[in-house]
Amino acid sequence: MSNSNQSERQPKFETLSGIEVERAYAPDNAPVDYLKDLGFPGEYPFTRGIQPTMYRGRLWTMRQYAGFASAEESNARYKYLLAQGQTGLSIAFDLPTQTGYDSDAAMAEGEVGKVGVAISSLQDMEQLFADIPLDRVSTSMTINATAPILLALYIAVARKQGVSNDKVRGTTQNDILKEYIARGTYIYPPAPSMRLAVDVIEYCARHLPGWNPISISGYHIREAGATAVQEIAFTFANAIEYVNASLARGLAIDEFAPQLSFFFVSQMDFCEEIAKFRAARRLWAKIIKEKFGAQKAQSMMLRFHTQTAGVSLTAQQPENNIVRTAIEALAAVLGGAQSLHTNSYDEALALPGENAVQIALRTQQIIAYESGVTNTIDPVAGSFYIERLTDEIQTRVEDYLAQIEKMGGAGRAIETGFIQREIQEAAWKFQNAVDNGERTVVGVNKFTTDQPAHAHIWRPDAAGQEKQKARLQALRATRDAARWSAARRALENAARGNENLLPPILNAVEAYATVGEISDTLREVFGEYRGSAAF
């Protein structure tokens, strides 16, 4: 399922007036120090992009985030998006799946299929990807506490399709630290949670070369109210924690760093967002090279997915959100994103409708094929404002990282509440400025109208939830009980030891153990996090 339009894109780089556009630009007779800091695309410190051709060689992956109700309904939405020119899948899971409960669990009542697709077993996962060949798509899964289970389910589906490990491509978010900071879908205490996260990193480094085992997420940190500087600083602090844990596991930095990926937001301050992405790329290269001694250029490349800002969407005058999303998406492209999701204009009101989803995807396509900004790499380079912002953001992020390192690292900074307090204070300042009218939000505190917003409000179908429960109960009654029981015992024994848990989890999902059963097995060994365990 690939986008043929992208492969047919003609490599003719000129303006509408016929002026030829060069690959990249730099000032004539630029001083050595200037070029050292700015560099060239595809060269350390990668300020201007991680690839020497960037979008002239290949556009970013257009990866619309979607998932709702049943596996069948989400499968139909994915096929629709792929037919519209989407170039990668991005899976949203419901809260029971994210927190390790089956669809028929008491804790799942009222939440099945509500904010994402309900996945309880390999049977559901097979349906989710029915008629979608996994050797031809790249799939991102926004999943954290249950990331090892969902990755195992994906591998199992790929195996059933006859897809070899080297052709499996995609990303698991698997960033449990930001769950303790900003999102809350954790299950286990920090130590076993970090063990599971590193299990995924280790397994992918050795068995899934095309899979990003972790997408270290600043998006949720920023959506919780952080500033652009805090978004990068706290994300990189978490990233350093994962790198240290992976090194302690016995992995070499160049063995796993090329597969690390990141997830950032693109907010409404257009120039700051562009500068943020450039500063982040340069600083990450410096951290990996100087702090951790990486030798491979691929280890130093900051590869990131971007999503436009959910918190910038307004329920008032929702059509205005189309403009906001276009501005944010353009900032992400000018900032050099490898992958992009554009929000639908009606998301502040309801699950996006197909028309809204199509407009969101068309926004990316218009930027890619009509705007001309992809003709040259880093077209904003050399702007006095952009370069000053890039330097200033990097300096402020480094100050935060030094402060967090003195505390003992991200784990300690989370445990003491430092990161959470910094985010809360930033969020309060922003909202106070909006409430006081010091910061304008069009249609909310200025240029308002009395017209009510209209949207079709989607709600999960109760009959659909009952169907999902019945299917799950039928699965339990028909699966090989002996194989299932043996797989669960093997997983429990492995969890009580020190081995990587991906293989026994994979064995369990192939025996049709459910997400809830596997999570409960691990709960019995690890316990659940109640806010008191130390990092």
> What's the mean pLDDT when you consider all of the chain?
94
Give the C-alpha separation, 241 to 238, whole Å: 5
Q: How confident is the model at residue 153 (pLDDT cuts 50, 70, 90)?
A: very high
Q: How confident is the model at residue 1 (pLDDT cuts 50, 70, 90)?
A: very low
Mean pLDDT, to the nearest integer, of 523-531? 94
Answer whether residue 511 is part of any domain: yes
Q: What's the pLDDT score for residue 462?
A: 75
Q: Give the pLDDT confidence of 18-47 residue by residue, as tens digits.
A: 999 999 888 776 665 656 667 889 999 999
Answer whether residue 533 is part of any domain: no
Q: Give the pLDDT confidence of 183-216 residue by residue, as tens digits.
A: 999 999 999 999 999 999 999 999 999 999 999 9
Q: What's the pLDDT score for residue 36?
A: 64
CB atoms within 10 A of CB 511: 20
Say if residue 414 is in the same domain as residue 485: no
Gap between the terminal Cα atoms of the chain: 42
Q: Is the pLDDT of residue 259 over 50?
A: yes
Mean pLDDT, to the nearest integer, of 329-339? 98
Say if residue 206 is in the same domain as residue 330: yes
Answer whether residue 258 is part of any domain: yes
Q: Is the pLDDT of residue 50 over 80?
A: yes
Q: What's the pLDDT score for residue 533?
A: 73
Count Cβ atoms within 10 A of the Cβ of residue 162 and give its class: 0-12 exposed, 13-18 middle, 19 or more buried: exposed
Give the C-alpha separation, 210 to 392, whole Å: 35
Say if residue 339 is in the same domain as residue 402: yes
- Assign 3-class secondary structure to 368-406: HHCCCCCCCCCCCCCCHHHHHHHHHHHHHHHHHHHHHHH
What is the CATH number for 105?
3.20.20.240
Q: What's the pLDDT score for residue 531?
A: 79
With a CB cutoff of 8 Å and minimum separation 6, the contacts of 216 are 175, 178, 235, 238, 239, 242, 260, 261, 262, 263
Q: How confident is the model at residue 428 (pLDDT cuts 50, 70, 90)?
A: very high
Say if residue 275 is in the same domain as residue 388: yes
Mean pLDDT, to the nearest integer, of 455-472? 81
Which of these, 274, 173, 179, 164, lies nearest to 234 by C-alpha position?
A: 179
Q: What's the pLDDT score for residue 4?
A: 42
Mean pLDDT, to the nearest integer, of 251-264? 98
Residue ending a domain, choose from 399, 418, 435: 435
Domains of the chain: total? 2
Mean pLDDT, to the nearest integer, of 268-272? 98
The position carrying tokens 């028309």 is 355
Say if residue 356 is in the same domain as residue 482: no
CB 162 within 8 A of CB 196: no
**Which domain range does residue 481 map to?**
463-526
Say if residue 223 is in the same domain as residue 333: yes
Q: Give the pLDDT confidence of 299-319 residue by residue, as tens digits.
A: 999 999 999 999 999 999 999
Say if residue 389 is in the same domain as residue 520: no
Q: Is the pLDDT of residue 382 over 60?
A: yes
Between 301 and 535, residue with greater pLDDT: 301
Answer whether residue 448 is part of any domain: no
Say if residue 408 is in the same domain as residue 473: no
Q: How confident is the model at residue 371 (pLDDT cuts 50, 70, 90)?
A: very high
Between 164 and 530, residue with greater pLDDT: 164
Q: Is the pLDDT of residue 532 over 80?
A: no
Q: Give the pLDDT confidence of 115-148 residue by residue, as tens digits.
A: 999 999 999 999 999 999 999 999 999 999 999 9
Q: What's the pLDDT score for residue 32?
A: 58
Give the C-alpha separation, 511 to 490, whole Å: 12
Say if residue 33 is in the same domain as residue 147: yes
Concatenating the DSSP letter of every residue in 454-514 gives: --------HHHHHHHHHHHHHHHHHS-HHHHHHHHHHHHHHHHSSS-SHHHHHHHHHTT--
Answer whether residue 446 is part of any domain: no
Q: What is the pTM of this model?
A: 0.95
Give the C-alpha separation, 266 to 471, whole Å: 40
Answer whether residue 354 is part of any domain: yes
Answer whether residue 133 is part of any domain: yes
Which of these, 403, 322, 392, 402, lies nearest to 363 by C-alpha position?
A: 322
Say if residue 154 is in the same domain as residue 222: yes
SS3 191: helix
Give 3-state DSSP helix, strand, coil % of the chain, rounded to 5: 50, 10, 40
Say if residue 417 is in the same domain as residue 471: no
Q: How confident is the model at residue 8 (pLDDT cuts 50, 70, 90)?
A: very low
Q: How confident is the model at residue 7 (pLDDT cuts 50, 70, 90)?
A: very low
Answer whether residue 243 is part of any domain: yes
Concatenating the DSSP letter of every residue in 322-338 gives: HHHHHHHHHHHHHTT-S
Say if residue 409 is in the same domain as residue 522: no
Query: Considering Cα of 395, then 398, then 403, then 404, what sign does the dihedral take?
Result: positive
Question: Any bridge partners for residue 20, and if so which?
Answer: 14
